[in-house]
Amino acid sequence: MRAVRHRDPTQPMAQATTSLPADNPFASPSTLPYQTPAFDTIREEHYLPAFAVGMAEHLAGVRVIAADAAPPSFVNTLEALERDGALLDRVSAAFFNLTGTDTTRRLQEIQAEIAPKLAAHGDAIWLDAQLFARVQAVHDARDSLTGPEQRRLAERYYTTFVRHGAKLSPDKQQRLREINELSSKLTTQFQERLLADTKDLAVVVDDAAQLAGLDASAVSAAQQAAEARGLTGKFLLTLQLPSSQGILSSLDVRETRRRVFEASVARCDRGNEHDTKDLIVQLAALRAEKAALLGYPTHAHYVLDDETAGTPDAVTEMLASMTPAIVTKARGEAAELQAWLDAQQPGTKLAPWDWSWVAERVRRARYDLDESAVKQFFELERVLQDGLFFMAKQLYGVTMKERHDLPVYHPDVRVFEVFDGDAADRPIGLFYADYYTRDSKRGGAWMSNFVEQSDLRRQKPVVINVMNIQKPSEGQPTLLSFDEVTTMFHEFGHGVHGLFSAVHYPLLAGTNVPRDFVEFPSQFHEDFAFDPAVLARCAVHHETGEPLPAELVGKIQRARKFGQGFASLEYIAAAWLDMAWHSLAPGAVVDDVARFEREALEQAGVAWELVPPRYKSTYFSHVWPGGYSAGYYAYLWSEALAADGFACVMERGGMNGQNGAAFRDAVLSRGLTGEPLQMFEAFRGRPLDTGALLRRRGLA
């Protein structure tokens, strides 16, 4: 359920709408532009009271809707639900963004306290028989509704209620409530333990000589990270979320590489207070039990029934169809890397911590491409302004103007106002950029919302992109690998999916689409990082001003397909692992997480110590707290759409306003107002051709 208030989001509104004390910033809608959170006045002590009153108000509003004496109609039932819960929406958006980007011990305590209460609050709504009866009545009469978006909303509400247990018997609903409450506690604990262990396992280096191979920017970042923890005179290599750490390709000292790799794969698997194995086993069992209560054989069946894939068989068929080619490709790459070691370092056997480093040397030899040299041409500010924002202007005609008058939750965060064209009277929304890593931020990269678009609420979107780029010392440039550049474009794809949303009802707005479709726009935008016009503007040597040589651009493009065996194998192994955990039958007992993981990978044909899954079970945050349970395959599924969609753009003239307008109209603006694959086909002009994906990855 989403909250709403009728007002212009660009105009202030000071009238209080809650029983909270007036000095609580959540007591009324933010008076800032677009209702963006007033982080200069929000304090930790404001959250719990706002959650308490917000849940009470929301539930009271729902009870009024459910008890309405008038016959159920679209307006007095579904539209009323879409309007309800404004306070809860405000506090949730601010709070849960901060727990991911800049958490504190107190915020973690609040999250642990509030998570089960929010789960119970949701159950009180979704399991309300009187309310469901009204929703079902509107759904049954949906053919009489005035427009396709209203019919779509009726279908989504009905489906969501049923998937939350509205049709279950009272005793089964009670058990469902218990499962949801316990699951919320466990996922919160998983997040806390992973954050803590990732911090604890950061590798401390005493001697700069052990960092040989890193450029000055990376060494500076490691030094600053150490100083931030009081480790003066030392260097700290913080860990990224995946198993394979990006820094491994540059570290020349093998022992340092080994330390980093072993720290990465040991996360939450050391038998200490941060171990997550007990949480994983409980979560998998609870999800299987919940699926059975709702009438599904497994959790995977439950999840995929509401995705574009439809069934676990469809997912496993896709994964199985690609696995042999991927494994063959990866083993061929391993043989090539071992041959290089045999020639350069006789007697050295390729180890997991060597793979990226040796691959980088082979890549250099084959393509004459030095990744550290490439980084010198990609300075963060230049990539942002002359790359990302230039692409947005050329493709969509939008202008991004930085604002310094809006409060942010951390000094590293920046805010940009987005306009259609250059006209200040055509505002679209706000774009927050939070790119630097810190101990208070979880790993990875993602997009989220502070305010969701809705014409019903008269709300314009406020979105945020988050990354974990190492911050150099004061005065040093932030230099990006090309992987980090493409990640910026990826997350901006999510961002414009939220910014360009033009939907009436918030339940259907922006990125509220199936998991295996939401990654389509983001992966679609990755390829624009290679556009010659983009590179000509943003790829400039940070010291000399020299543009990235044309031959180096070609090398980057050709080298992009190098190592796809490794990249594809670590990804598909994680996807298989996700499916294995969530294909457990109700009552199945897992008494050894490591053995279960090993056997699952062996059965799928992807078990190989040289290439561990991109995420091992104990730190697989995408699927335990992250919402991608039985859905990690979605990146590959969506990449097929993205590859074919981008091929369409190239066929029609490349990065121009006509193609941008077509994509914005067919996909980005539509939210979930239509069937996802139909939206893709409306843009592409035909059904999906998966051959574009194989060509993109160099597997065909």
- Confirm if 380 and 480 have CB atoms less than 8 A apart: yes
What is the C-alpha separation between 274 and 637, in angstroms, rounded?
33
The tokens for 180 are 């949801």
17 pLDDT above the threshold of 80: no
**Distance spanning both ends of the chain, measured CA to CA:** 44
**What is the third-level CATH fold of 380-560+636-696?**
Neurolysin; domain 3 (1.10.1370)
The tokens for 140 are 């049954």
Count of alpha carbons within 13 angstroms of residue 136, beta-carbon side: 12
Res 551: pLDDT: 82
Residues whose CB is less than 8 angstroms from the CB of residue 170 and which lie 6 or more positions away in sequence, other chains included: none
pLDDT tens-digit readout, 338-364: 999 999 999 999 999 999 999 999 988
For 296-305, what is the mean pLDDT?
Answer: 98
Taking residue 167's Cβ as centre, other Cβ atoms within 10 Å add up to 16
Res 217: pLDDT: 86
- Give the pairing type, strands 427-436 and 414-420: antiparallel
**What is the third-level CATH fold of 33-167?**
Glutathione S-transferase Yfyf (Class Pi); Chain A, domain 2 (1.20.1050)
Q: Which ranges constitute the DSSP H helices of 561-592?
A: 564-581
What is the C-alpha separation between 648 and 345, in angstroms, rounded?
46
Q: Is 432 helix (H, G, I), strand (E, B) or coil?
A: strand
The tokens for 435 are 């790119």
- Confirm if 86 and 60 have CB atoms less than 8 A apart: no
Res 443: pLDDT: 86
Q: Is 459 helix (H, G, I), strand (E, B) or coil?
A: strand
How far CA 367 is from CA of 320, 360, 371, 561, 633, in Å, comes to: 32, 10, 11, 11, 31
Backbone conformation region of residue 233, classed left if phi is above 0, alpha if psi is from -120 to 50, else beta: left
Res 240: pLDDT: 92
- Burial of residue 343 (number of CB atoms within 10 Å: 0-12, 13-18, 19+): exposed
Res 422: pLDDT: 79
- The pLDDT-based confidence of 14 (bands split at 50, 70, 90) is very low
The overall longest dimension of the chain from CA atoms, in Å, is 84
Which residue is listed with tokens 């369409």?
648
What residues does CATH 1.20.1050.40 cover in the chain?
A: 33-167
- Identify the CATH number of the domain defined by range 277-367+563-632: 1.10.1370.10
Res 7: pLDDT: 31
Res 16: pLDDT: 38
User: Which segments within 382-516 are labelled E, that is strand?
Assistant: 398-403, 414-420, 427-436, 446-451, 462-469
pLDDT tens-digit readout, 380-399: 999 999 999 999 999 999 99
- Confirm if 180 and 122 have CB atoms less than 8 A apart: yes
pLDDT tens-digit readout, 537-555: 999 999 999 999 888 888 8
What is the C-alpha separation between 508 and 455, in angstroms, rounded?
11
Res 379: pLDDT: 97
What is the C-alpha separation between 123 and 129, in angstroms, rounded?
11
Is 474 assigned a catalytic role?
no
What residues does CATH 1.10.1370.40 cover in the chain?
A: 380-560+636-696
Gyration radius of the chain's alpha carbons: 25
pLDDT tens-digit readout, 508-519: 999 999 999 999
The tokens for 585 are 């039958």
372 pLDDT above the threshold of 90: no
689 pLDDT above the threshold of 80: yes
pLDDT tens-digit readout, 46-78: 999 999 999 999 999 999 999 999 999 999 999
- Confirm if 613 and 352 have CB atoms less than 8 A apart: no
Q: Is 540 helix (H, G, I), strand (E, B) or coil?
A: strand
pLDDT tens-digit readout, 197-226: 999 999 999 999 999 999 888 999 999 999
What is the C-alpha separation between 220 and 477, in angstroms, rounded?
10
**CA nearest to 199, candidates 435, 409, 413, 441:** 441
Which residue is listed with tokens 């009324």?
28
Q: Which residue in 491, 526, 570, 639 is the catalytic one?
A: 491
The sheet carrying 446-451 orders its strands as: 398-403, 414-420, 427-436, 462-469, 446-451
2 pLDDT above the threshold of 80: no
What is the C-alpha separation between 401 and 613, in angstroms, rounded?
41
12 pLDDT above the threshold of 70: no
Res 1: pLDDT: 34
Res 4: pLDDT: 30
Q: How does the average pLDDT of the chain come out, rounded?
A: 94
Q: Is 77 helix (H, G, I), strand (E, B) or coil?
A: helix
For 81-90, what is the mean pLDDT?
Answer: 96
What are the residues facing 454 on neighbouring strands?
459
Q: What are phi and psi of 630, to 5 degrees?
A: 55, 25
The tokens for 102 are 């800049």
What is the C-alpha separation between 471 and 477, in angstroms, rounded?
9
What is the C-alpha separation between 383 and 390, in angstroms, rounded?
9
What residues does CATH 1.10.1370.10 cover in the chain?
A: 277-367+563-632
pLDDT tens-digit readout, 606-664: 999 999 999 999 999 999 998 999 999 999 999 999 999 999 999 999 999 999 999 99
Lowest mean per-residue pLDDT among 361-370, 387-396, 465-474: 361-370
Backbone conformation region of residue 11, classed left if phi is above 0, alpha if psi is from -120 to 50, else beta: beta
State the Cα angle at 216 between 215 and 218, rounded to 5°.
70
User: Which segments within 144-271 are labelled E, that is strand?
Assistant: 203-205, 235-237
The tokens for 561 are 């397909």
What is the C-alpha separation between 608 and 618, in angstroms, rounded?
18
Model-level pTM? 0.90
